Amino acid sequence: MNYNVDEKGYYGDFGGAYIPEMLYPNVEELRQNYLSITADPDFKKQFDELLKVYVGRPTPLYFAKRLSEKYNTRIYLKREDLCHTGAHKVNNTIGQILLAQRLGKKRIIAETGAGQHGVATATVCALMGIECIVYMGELDIKRQAPNVARMKMLGAEVRPAQSGSKTLKDATNEAIRDWINNPVDTHYIIGSVVGPHPYPDMVARFQAVISEETKWQLEETEGRNYPDHVIACVGGGSNAAGLYYHYLNDERVNIITVEAAGKGIDSGESAATSALGKEVIIHGSKTLLMQTPDGQITEPYSISAGLDYPGVGPMHAHLFRSQRAEFISIPDQEAMDWGLTLSQMEGIIPAIETAHAFAALDARKFGPEEVVVFNCSGRGDKDLDTYIDYFKL
């Protein structure tokens, strides 16, 4: 089976471009151009150069000695938390801003939940001197004040999404409406592997640098360019897509995907899409998402703002349905405990999203000779308030 996108923009049963006609010209322009633009040597050169001198790539592949001893296996952390702006998100925004420039776009819009993608977008817009508007749910603006301030410092305009549940999915709706209203001069930088084709594939390709580096880094340390397991957390699923990308069709590599169970899968306050999601059309693609029996999209919950998107991208829906990936759901409490464990055993304070992934070490066994690569997707600075409240620090 092939786990990459097909010619029509589908991953198995999922994906496609279910968009109103008003968006057709914008999305079609992207679809026709994204492969040729990103394959262009000049584009590649500029992209690689910025990733190196601006983002700080390659990020280290770090052998976690103490953790490996404790769990009697060989654990590596791909240190995306060391990227400029604090997470993997910037790999994608660098790629998309270069693409937008080549399409002659003068204005950038983006959606953000916790604010990480908003900050990464505001950053590249500042870098290129392009107008930037970030849509953010009114509730999230209140919950994520430091990231709102960062976006403003970077010169972006933060527009509150006041419709629906006033969170990430509504910010996404507002960004799409903006794009409908501004079809010619605007590029929409989606932050995850969601949305209509070609977005899931395009974002995955920009994030693929994560597994591209992992391959040669493992070759150096382990003498083979593949691990036995790759493990990542998913909200929409961009950091996971990046870590999996070059291993998708390599059956030697087991894929483990960690979702946020929130207060528990049956609690009614969860973001465990694989367990709770059904086949849905939202934000332009067919995927797995949480909804009511009547087909209304429901609000997810996780202590981690970056994981409380109600669905996963179509690539992950396909990995789940085809059983290419193992899915694990981790409740808030275990994720928070792992935030502390990783801090005290390896000296790395992870984002709460990232902390979810490490809970896979308790959920299943790994052999002593097995090589396990985690995507350490983001740093925990942005989550300090949540950690302080939770642990009474």
Partner 1 sequence: MNRIDQKFKGDKKLLSIYFSAGYPNLEDTVPVLKKLQVAGVDMVEIGLPFSDPLADGPTIQESSTQALRNGMNTEKLFSQLDGIRKEIEIPLVLMGYFNPMMQYGIEKFCQRCESIGIDGLIIPDLPVDVYHEHYKTLFDQHGLYNMFLITPQTSDKRIRYIDQVSNGFIYMVSSASVTGAKNTFGKTQTDYFQRIQKMELNTPTVVGFGISNAETYQAATKESRGAIIGSAFIKFLKEKGVENIPEFIQSIRD
Binding track, positions 107-146, relative to partner 1; x by CB under 8 A? ----------------------------------------
Exactly one of 183, 224, 363, 389 binds partner 1 (CB under 8 A); that residue is 183
Tokens at 190, concatenated: 């989606």
Q: Which two tokens stand for residue 25?
A: 């010209």
- Minimal distance in Å, beta carbon 92 to partner 1? 22
Residue keyed to tokens 């103490």? 66
Task: Tell me which residues in 148-177 interact with partner 1 (CB under 8 A).
Answer: 163-164, 169-170, 173, 176-177
Question: Strand order in 229-233's β-sheet?
Answer: 61-63, 74-78, 371-375, 229-233, 254-262, 325-331
Asked if 232 and 355 touch (Cβ cutoff 8 Å), the reply is: no
For the CB of residue 19, give the shortest distance to partner 1 in the complex, in Å.
Answer: 6
The residue behind tokens 């998309």 is 96
Instruction: Sort 268 into a burial class: Cβ within 10 Å, 0-12 / 13-18 / 19+.
Output: exposed
Q: State the catalytic residues.
A: 89, 111, 377
CB of 163 to partner 1, least distance (A): 5
Q: By C-beta, is 176 or 351 nearer to partner 1? A: 176
Based on CB atoms, which residue is closest to partner 1, 154 or 176?
176
HSE-up (13 A, CA, CB side) for residue 154: 27
**Binding marks (x or -) toward partner 1, 256..295, rule CB under 8 A?**
----------------------xxxxxxx------x-xxx
> What are the helix (H) ranges across 103-208?
116-128, 138-143, 145-153, 168-181, 199-207
Query: In the complex with partner 1, which residue's Cβ is closer, 17 or 90?
Result: 17
Element (H, E) at 78: strand 74-78
Would you say 168 or 243 has its CB closer to partner 1?
168
Check residue 19 for interaction with partner 1 (CB under 8 A). yes
- List residues near partner 1 by CB under 8 A: 16-22, 24-25, 163-164, 169-170, 173, 176-177, 180-184, 278-284, 291, 293-297
